[in-house]
């Protein structure tokens, strides 16, 4: 009785090991790029069904070029101008405020009116009225080795929220162990204020516990807040096309990078009130703004040309940085501590168990392919279930469907446990290897002779 | 004829003068923050304790958007957002301007804002 050859020869095993190693070591960033493209595609796909729970609690007040021009002022804004802006915001009674401006250098020096004190006076009024105010903080000691941070008069009348961090790639941490001390990020700081009046499960006890929590893989939203149209012209915010063509377009853009993948949406998801809107004088207009801002978590940011604070959104393209804080906060309000996350990586290596899972799926494809080849060579592997094996592996389609089903189940399981998906696009494309003999057969067929006679 | 003209002019200018007198018609905030000239809060005034009669505005500080009034014989400053002033000091309508748009992910701006003389540094 002849001994059956193994499913994989030793050389093939070595080759598989090499491929696995290459996938992990990520030469030229090929795997990372593919992972990122897949994650962005997934983010876009899910953005249209993102619930609006957080959108009703969060608002962004944006200082823009139009506001500066209308008030004949400059950037950075003089403290007197800022004091007017922030006292107007105070009058609308937000629940808590984060200011995404770094007050690191005093530009009122030589000003007889002592401008910085004018703004500090307004910030103090927030404290007196019990409205928590968080200012952007670098997390370093001001002046040490020339490091910038919030000026003392402002630090006294506010709380810090760290806006400088590293080590989490594109994710958004809840807190960061900064050189000065452990500090919470703006989204977490405002979420903690939100939780003072709401029931929030498993809220980290303190900043140290927040550091130990996994960072947020920010899920962007797509649909504008219904109230947005009451204060802004949203005519140019293109309505989302029908779901199926949109998904197909996004899939094509994610796979074929030469296809224009301009932003899916051009207008920000979070309710946006511009600084000019706070100036309105008519009682009915003021009532409208009050309706939008009262008891909301408000983030104040800027979108001034050539100031550089922009972030990349999977859904929008480049968008002012304050919207990242707003969206992370929105994720927290909407999903609580069940926000999307990426699995923790091994120390010193950017490798997680998700990479292992992806390798497992690749191994499954390899095994199914080998079984199919053996079946074509009439060398079945299973001794007792030969008929089953013949039925499953004589055609590559059952194997391909099986891989897609396993992939869908893995994605579903990960999503259920609030983890980001595996590289769906990469694995789906690689699964097409199972059909390679069919492709070869199709393209090797001789061309059909044309009908008709030559004259 | 001259007398009639004088009376008419007097009536006309008195209307203009009357129209220029801004007064606080209502206190919107509760409590109302009582401030010094730098906008620093001195104390609070409960709305129920605020004057019910129109309160003339003595002075307006446009740089800080504060108004000076006399409360219980003392000159103090109030935030214009806490009160309703008639006629309005500034009329600003809701602009209903276009909502901000994101930029394409490959858009570039290789510059930093320059401060120039405007910053008085």
Query: How large is the ipTM?
Result: 0.80
Q: Do the Cβ atoms of A118 and B81 come within 8 Å?
A: no
A36 touches chain B (CB under 8 A): no
Nearest to A216 by CA among A418, A356, A421: A418
Cβ contacts of B118 on chain A, cutoff 8 Å: 74
What is the CB-side half-sphere exposure of residue A229 using CA atoms within 13 A?
7
**Where does a domain end: A317, A338, A359?**
A338
Tokens read off for B69: 């009034």
pLDDT tens-digit series, residues B28-41: 999 999 999 999 99
Res. A350 pLDDT band, cuts 50 70 90: confident
Tally of CB atoms within 10 A around A111: 16
Q: Are residues A242 and A355 in the same domain?
A: no
Cβ contacts of A232 on chain B, cutoff 8 Å: 96-99
The residue that leads in pLDDT, B89 or A31, is: B89
Domain count, chain A: 2
Residue keyed to tokens 């937000």:
A94
Tally of CB atoms within 10 A around A139: 20
Domains in chain B: boundaries? 22-92
Res. B108 pLDDT band, cuts 50 70 90: confident
Nearest CA in chain B to A224: B99
CB neighbours of A356 closer than 8 A, spacing ≥ 6?
none
Looking at residue A107, its pLDDT comes to 78
> What part of A 297-316 touches B (C-beta under 8 Å)?
303-308, 310, 312-313, 316
Q: Are residues A331 and A390 in the same domain?
A: no
Q: Are residues A157 and A211 in the same domain?
A: yes
Cβ contacts of A267 on chain B, cutoff 8 Å: 99-102
* Through-space distance between the first and last CA atoms of chain B, rounded to whole angstroms: 62
The residue that leads in pLDDT, B81 or A5, is: B81
Cβ contacts of B91 on chain A, cutoff 8 Å: 281-282
**B20 exposed, middle or buried (CB, 10 Å; 0-12, 13-18, 19+)?**
exposed
pLDDT at B48 over 50: yes
Q: What percent of chain B has pLDDT over 90?
A: 55
Q: Do the Cβ atoms of A91 and B94 come within 8 Å?
A: no
- C-alpha distance from A64 to closest chain B C-alpha (Å): 9
pLDDT tens-digit series, residues A171-181: 999 999 999 99
Across chain B, mean pLDDT equals 82
Partner residue opposite B101 with nearest CB, options A109, A236, A306: A236
Mean pLDDT highest for which of A284-298, A354-368, A421-435, B86-100?
Answer: A284-298
pLDDT at A239 over 70: no
A177 touches chain B (CB under 8 A): no
pLDDT at A426 over 60: yes
Q: Do the Cβ atoms of A233 and B90 come within 8 Å?
A: no
Looking at residue B12, its pLDDT comes to 47
Q: Is residue A180 part of a domain?
A: yes
Q: Residue A314 has what DSSP assignment?
A: T
Q: Is residue A419 part of a domain?
A: yes
Looking at residue A96, its pLDDT comes to 98
Looking at residue B113, its pLDDT comes to 72
Q: What is the DSSP string of A214-239?
A: PPB-PPPP-SPPTTHHHHSB-TTSPP
Across chain A, mean pLDDT equals 88
In a mutational test of the B interface, the residue from A61, A63, A121 whose CB has the highest number of chain B CBs within 10 Å is: A121
Q: What is the DSSP string of B36-83?
A: -TTS-EEEEE-GGGS-SS-EE--EEETTTTEEEEEETTEEEEEEGGGE
Tally of CB atoms within 10 A around A282: 13
A84 touches chain B (CB under 8 A): yes
Q: Are residues A350 and A334 in the same domain?
A: no
| Distance (Å, whole) CA B20 – CA A42 | 61
**A308 exposed, middle or buried (CB, 10 Å; 0-12, 13-18, 19+)?**
exposed
Nearest to A272 by CA among A296, A248, A246, A307: A296
Q: Are residues A79 and A139 in the same domain?
A: yes
Q: Is residue A453 part of a domain?
A: no
**Where does a domain end: A285, A306, A338?**
A338
Mean pLDDT highest for which of A98-107, A271-280, A426-435, B5-14?
Answer: A271-280
A414 touches chain B (CB under 8 A): no
pLDDT at B13 over 50: no
- C-alpha distance from B9 to closest chain A C-alpha (Å): 32
pLDDT at A22 over 60: yes
Residue keyed to tokens 């003999």:
A437
Q: Are residues A191 and A311 in the same domain?
A: yes
Res. B15 pLDDT band, cuts 50 70 90: very low
Cβ contacts of A234 on chain B, cutoff 8 Å: 99
Section A205-231 average pLDDT:
95
Q: Are residues A288 and A383 in the same domain?
A: no
A74 touches chain B (CB under 8 A): yes
Q: How many residues does chain B have?
A: 121
pLDDT at A452 over 90: no
Q: H or E segment at A45?
A: helix A30-47
A304-309 long-range Cβ contacts below 8 angstroms, 24+ apart: A304/A63, A304/A64, A304/A65, A304/A68, A304/A75, A304/B113, A305/A65, A305/B109, A305/B113, A306/B109, A306/B111, A306/B112, A306/B113, A307/A75, A307/B112, A307/B113, A308/B109, A308/B112, A309/A100
What is the CB-side half-sphere exposure of residue A36 using CA atoms within 13 A?
13
| Distance (Å, whole) CA A138 – CA A158 | 14
pLDDT tens-digit series, residues A32-50: 888 888 888 889 889 988 9
| Apex A358 CA angle, A389 and A262, nearest 5 | 120
Res. A224 pLDDT band, cuts 50 70 90: very high
Q: Which domain holds residue A405?
A: 10-37+346-442
In a mutational test of the A interface, the residue from B46, B91, B100 whose CB has the highest number of chain A CBs within 10 Å is: B100
In sequence order, which ranges of A213-352 are alpha helices (DSSP H)? 228-231, 243-255, 283-293, 322-335
Res. A82 pLDDT band, cuts 50 70 90: very high
Res. A268 pLDDT band, cuts 50 70 90: very high
| Distance (Å, whole) CA A336 – CA A329 | 10
Question: Which of the residue ranges A98-112, A265-279, B7-21 would you say has the lowest mean pLDDT?
Answer: B7-21
Nearest CA in chain A to B83: A91
> What part of A 376-405 touches B (C-beta under 8 Å)?
none
Res. A261 pLDDT band, cuts 50 70 90: low
Cβ contacts of A293 on chain B, cutoff 8 Å: none
- C-alpha distance from B114 to closest chain A C-alpha (Å): 9
Q: How many residues does chain A have?
A: 455
pLDDT at A271 over 60: yes
Looking at residue A394, its pLDDT comes to 87
A258 touches chain B (CB under 8 A): no
Q: Are residues A82 and A190 in the same domain?
A: yes
Section A151-161 average pLDDT:
93
pLDDT at B119 over 80: no
- C-alpha distance from B82 to closest chain A C-alpha (Å): 7
Section A209-233 average pLDDT:
94
Mean pLDDT highest for which of A74-83, A295-304, A310-319?
Answer: A295-304
In sequence order, which ranges of A394-435 are alpha helices (DSSP H)? 397-416, 424-431
Q: Are residues A288 and A393 in the same domain?
A: no
pLDDT at A403 over 90: yes
A91 touches chain B (CB under 8 A): yes
pLDDT at B118 over 60: no
Looking at residue A15, its pLDDT comes to 82
Q: Are residues A15 and A63 in the same domain?
A: no
Tokens read off for A451: 């009908």
> What part of A 262-291 touches B (C-beta under 8 Å)?
262-263, 265-268, 272, 274, 276-277, 279-283, 285, 288
Q: Residue A343 has what DSSP assignment?
A: P
Task: Identify each DSSP E strand in A39-85 by its residue range.
Answer: 58-64
pLDDT tens-digit series, residues A119-129: 999 999 999 99
Question: Which of the residue ranges A56-65, A240-249, A316-325, B83-92 would you say has the lowest mean pLDDT?
Answer: A240-249
pLDDT at B80 over 80: yes
Q: Are residues A271 and A381 in the same domain?
A: no
- C-alpha distance from A54 to closest chain B C-alpha (Å): 20
Class of domain B22-92 (CATH, top level): mainly beta
Q: What backbone phi and psi angles, to 5 degrees, belong to A367?
A: -65, -45
Q: H or E segment at A396?
A: none
Q: What percent of chain A has pLDDT over 70?
A: 91
Looking at residue A455, its pLDDT comes to 41
Partner residue opposite B119 with nearest CB, options A74, A121, A307: A74
pLDDT at A341 over 70: yes
Partner residue opposite B95 with nearest CB, options A124, A276, A281: A276
Looking at residue B54, its pLDDT comes to 93
pLDDT at A347 over 70: no
Cβ contacts of A285 on chain B, cutoff 8 Å: 93-94
Q: Do the Cβ atoms of A233 and B99 come within 8 Å?
A: yes
Q: Are residues A305 and A269 in the same domain?
A: yes
In sequence order, which ranges of A49-163 are alpha helices (DSSP H)? 65-70, 79-91, 115-128, 152-156
Looking at residue B3, its pLDDT comes to 62
């Amino acid at each position: 009785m002849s001994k059956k050859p193994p499913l994989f020869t030793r050389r093939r095993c070595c080759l598989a090991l090499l491929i696995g190693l290459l996938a992990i070591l990520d030469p030229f960033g090929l795997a990372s790029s593919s992972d990122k493209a897949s994650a962005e595609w997934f983010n876009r796909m899910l953005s249209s069904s993102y619930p609006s729970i957080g959108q009703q609690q969060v608002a962004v007040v944006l200082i823009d070029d139009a506001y500066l021009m209308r008030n004949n002022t400059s950037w950075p804004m003089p403290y007197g101008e800022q004091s007017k802006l922030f006292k107007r915001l105070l009058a609308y009674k937000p629940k808590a405020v984060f200011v995404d401006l770094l007050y690191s250098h005093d530009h009122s020096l030589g000003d007889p009116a002592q401008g910085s004190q004018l703004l500090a006076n307004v910030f103090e009024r927030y404290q007196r009225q019990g409205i928590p105010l968080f200012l952007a903080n670098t997390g370093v000691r001001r002046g040490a080795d020339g490091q910038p941070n919030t000026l003392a008069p402002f630090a006294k009348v506010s709380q810090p929220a760290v806006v400088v961090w590293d080590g989490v790639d594109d994710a958004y941490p809840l807190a960061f162990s900064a050189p000065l001390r452990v500090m919470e990020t703006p989204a977490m700081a405002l979420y903690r204020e939100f939780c003072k009046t709401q029931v929030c499960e498993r809220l980290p006890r303190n900043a140290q516990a927040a550091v130990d929590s996994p960072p947020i893989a920010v899920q962007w939203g797509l649909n504008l807040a219904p109230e947005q149209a009451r204060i802004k012209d949203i005519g140019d915010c293109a309505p989302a096309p029908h779901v199926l063509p949109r998904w197909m377009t996004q899939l094509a853009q994610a796979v074929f990078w030469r296809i224009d993948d301009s932003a899916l949406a051009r207008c920000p998801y979070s309710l946006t009130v511009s600084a000019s809107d706070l100036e309105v004088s008519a009682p009915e207009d003021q009532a409208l703004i009050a309706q939008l801002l009262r008891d909301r978590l408000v983030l104040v940011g800027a979108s001034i040309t050539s100031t550089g604070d922009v972030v990349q959104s999977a859904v929008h393209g480049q968008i002012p940085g304050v919207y990242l804080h707003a969206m992370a906060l929105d994720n927290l309000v909407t999903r609580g501590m069940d926000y999307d996350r990426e699995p923790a990586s091994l120390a010193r290596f950017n490798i997680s168990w998700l990479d292992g899972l992806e390798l497992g799926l690749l191994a499954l494809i390899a095994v199914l392919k080998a079984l199919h080849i053996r079946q074509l060579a009439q060398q079945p592997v299973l001794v007792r279930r030969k008929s089953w094996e013949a039925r499953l592996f004589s055609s590559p389609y059952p194997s391909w469907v099986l891989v897609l089903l396993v992939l869908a189940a893995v994605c579903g399981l990960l999503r259920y446990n609030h983890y980001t998906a595996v590289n769906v696009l990469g694995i789906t494309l690689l699964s097409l290897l199972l059909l390679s003999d069919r492709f070869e057969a199709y393209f090797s067929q001789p061309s059909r002779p044309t009908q008709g006679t030559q004259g | 004829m001259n007398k009639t003209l004088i009376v008419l002019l007097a009536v006309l200018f008195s209307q203009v003068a009357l129209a220029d007198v801004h007064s606080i018609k209502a206190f919107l905030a509760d409590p109302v923050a009582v401030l010094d000239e730098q906008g620093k809060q001195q104390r609070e005034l409960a709305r129920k304790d605020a004057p019910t009669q129109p309160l003339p505005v003595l002075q307006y500080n446009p740089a800080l958007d504060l108004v000076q009034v006399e409360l219980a014989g003392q000159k103090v400053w109030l935030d214009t957002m806490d009160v309703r002033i008639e006629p309005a000091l500034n009329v600003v309508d809701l602009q209903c301007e276009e909502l901000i748009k994101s930029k394409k992910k490959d858009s570039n701006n290789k510059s930093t804002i320059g401060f120039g003389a405007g910053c008085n540094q």
